[in-house]
């Protein structure tokens, strides 16, 4: 790391850090190690692991690269979590990553993260998992559907601004997004009644969905192996198209282009990274974690380690039950394969292959449990960031108010709820989610770079836990994440430039909103 790094103008003294902790004294320390670990796992596991392997397999066309995408994502996730552990133990305050960016790089960077989190990352993800809950509930009640409109306002036509492709969404209220709105409203209200109440719900649903994933793995190993799939996916075929010199055909800039194996692996990371994201949400609740200097780093390590192991095992089960290659016109599960599983529901196809229609129904229930628990974790944790921002004068001041009885950020929960419901009705959450992985990686890189800055500017600060493998592993993370972002900028501009635009839009907002006398 070069010694001539330009440091931010604002470099708070240790006494300033202590001054900020008063905001957390208002909060209730209600999360122990178990609840914190459950929050990590519950926020990570949504609907992605059950679905995104179909798109990844179409992009890589290789069993080895499908597994490689998940292993690479797992490496990045665990290294990121182990690195964040030092920051969490060093600054165990409400707001988590927002606080780390504010203290290491300056308030502008913290604000840009919180701005993007509220506008897109957290609320868009909550909307998406809520709609996913409604989508799978529709398997049992067909009246719940995205085409069953209660009020259809209009359809926004598609239009392009440079490399950005926008529009194409339906605006209005249908039975599917109505279910999503009811879930969001119910969970937001429940989380007002104390962090312990939200934690109980989180623990129950996370236990259920981890058990469901573990059951999928166990049943897949014992009952799901299919001779045709194993012959097609393993042995010599496992490494098909996986050589470093192999060129892969992908869509880029509106045309088909040939790229290297490493490049296509980076492109394919979008799905697996999205499915593994939100592990950092536990840091948002640091002000309510018991013994945070110990429990935050430990929960990050345990939670990400267990989830990534389950994710990789699930993908081996998929490859054991269904051929990777398939046809969109196939009439059977084996003919459609992983690549063209119906509506990309790979896990449902695997369970149906094992147990018939009963298996498909069981998987639908498992995904509903998973998305419900994921929404609860995201709602609980996200509100703490806006609360911390409001305390700093960088969000609506009323958002800093706590419920007088339960000491929860009730106003923040309500503001988050309202914007999430707007995204549900606008139909834009799906398009917004396409944009966020680029922005998410940018903020992860900035936060981990901030660790290097803090090691210089606050060398004397107490560090109950130090990042494993520092400085090598954090530096490797930064290089790998930047490579993925550069590849996405080049080959997926329609998904990356809008995300960058949303982040940059926050700069003038910051200068309008910041308290007088505050520097960037």
- Classify each residue of 316-346 as buried b or exposed e, where b means 16 or more C-beta atoms within 10 Å of its C-beta: bbbbbbbbbbbeeebeebbebbbbbbeebbb
Q: Which two tokens stand for residue 257?
A: 């282009």
> Cα-atom radius of gyration of the chain, to the nearest Å?
22
pLDDT tens digit string along 149-180? 999 888 877 766 666 666 677 889 999 999 99
If we measure between CA atoms, which residue out of 299, 279, 393 comes closest to residue 20? Answer: 393
Q: What is the mean pLDDT of residues 335-348?
A: 91
249-291 pLDDT per residue, tens: 776 444 567 788 999 999 999 889 989 999 999 999 998 999 9
pLDDT value at position 489? 87
pLDDT of 393 higher than 70: yes
CB distance 422 to 129 below 8 Å? no
Q: Is the pLDDT of residue 4 over 50?
A: no
pLDDT of residue 3: 39
Q: Which of 69-73, 86-90, 515-519 has the lowest mean pLDDT?
A: 515-519
- The fraction of the chain above a pLDDT of 70, given in percent, is 91
Taking the CB of residue 219, how many other CB atoms lie within 10 A of it? 18
* Structural domains of the chain, ranges and CATH numbers in brackets: 25-513 (1.20.1740.10)
Average pLDDT over residues 327-350: 92
Give pairs for 215-223: CB < 8 Å, separation 24+.
216/314, 216/317, 216/347, 216/350, 216/351, 216/363, 216/366, 217/310, 217/313, 217/314, 217/317, 219/351, 219/354, 220/314, 220/317, 220/318, 220/320, 220/321, 220/350, 220/354, 221/317, 221/320, 223/354
Q: Please give the angle made by the CA atoms of 111, 112 and 117, to the nearest 5 degrees.
A: 95
- In the chain, the percentage of residues whose pLDDT exceeds 90 is 70
The pTM of this model reads 0.90
Average pLDDT over residues 323-335: 93
- pLDDT, the chain, mean: 89
Give CA–CA dist 325/332, Å, rounded: 13
């Amino acid at each position: 790391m070069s010694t001539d790094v330009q440091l931010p103008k604002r470099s708070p003294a240790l006494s300033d850090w202590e001054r900020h902790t008063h905001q957390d004294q208002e909060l209730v320390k209600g999360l122990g190690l178990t609840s914190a670990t459950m929050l990590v796992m519950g926020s990570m596991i949504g609907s992605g692991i059950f679905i995104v392997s179909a798109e990844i397999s179409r992009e890589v066309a290789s069993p080895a690269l499908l597994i490689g995408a998940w292993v690479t994502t797992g490496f990045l996730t665990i290294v990121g979590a182990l690195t964040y552990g030092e920051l969490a133990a060093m600054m165990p305050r409400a707001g988590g990553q927002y606080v780390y960016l504010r203290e290491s790089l300056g308030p502008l960077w913290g604000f840009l993260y919180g701005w993007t989190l509220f506008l897109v990352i957290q609320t868009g993800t909550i909307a998406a998992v809520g709609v996913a809950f409604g989508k799978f509930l529709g398997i049992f009640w067909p009246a719940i559907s995205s085409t069953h409109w209660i009020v259809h306002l209009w359809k926004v036509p598609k239009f392009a601004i440079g490399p950005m492709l926008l529009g194409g969404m339906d605006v209005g209220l249908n039975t599917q997004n109505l279910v999503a709105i009811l879930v969001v409203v119910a969970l937001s209200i429940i989380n007002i009644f104390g962090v312990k109440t939200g934690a109980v719900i989180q623990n129950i649903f996370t236990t259920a969905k981890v058990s469901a994933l573990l059951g999928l793995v166990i049943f897949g190993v014992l009952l799901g192996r299919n001779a045709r799939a194993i012959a097609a996916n393993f042995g010599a075929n496992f490494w098909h198209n996986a050589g470093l010199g192999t060129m892969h055909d992908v869509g880029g800039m509106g045309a088909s282009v040939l790229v290297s194996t490493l490049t296509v692996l980076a492109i394919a990371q979008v799905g697996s990274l999205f499915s593994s994201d939100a592990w950092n949400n536990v840091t948002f609740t640091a002000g309510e974690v018991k013994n945070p200097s110990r429990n935050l780093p430990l929960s990050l390590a345990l939670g990400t380690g267990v989830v990534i192991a389950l994710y990789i095992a699930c993908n081996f089960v998929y490859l054991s039950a269904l051929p990777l290659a398939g046809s969109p016109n196939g009439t059977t599960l084996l003919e459609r394969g992983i690549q063209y599983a119906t509506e990309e529901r790979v896990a449902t196809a695997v369970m149906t292959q094992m147990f018939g229609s009963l298996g498909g129904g069981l998987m639908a229930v498992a995904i509903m449990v998973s998305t419900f628990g994921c929404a609860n974790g995201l709602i609980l944790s996200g509100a703490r960031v806006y609360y911390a921002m409001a305390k700093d004068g960088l969000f609506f001041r009323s958002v800093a108010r706590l419920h007088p009885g339960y000491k929860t950020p009730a106003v923040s929960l309500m503001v988050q709820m309202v914007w999430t419901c707007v995204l549900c009705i606008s139909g834009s959450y799906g398009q917004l989610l396409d944009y966020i992985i680029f922005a998410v990686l940018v903020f992860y890189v900035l936060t981990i770079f901030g660790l290097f800055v803090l090691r210089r500017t606050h060398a004397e600060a107490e560090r109950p836990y130090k990042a494993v493998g520092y400085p090598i592993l954090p530096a490797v993370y930064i290089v790998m994440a930047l490579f993925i972002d550069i590849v996405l900028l080049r080959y997926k501009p329609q998904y990356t430039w809008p995300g960058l635009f949303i982040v940059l839009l926050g700069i003038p907002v910051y200068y309008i909103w910041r308290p007088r006398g505050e520097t960037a």
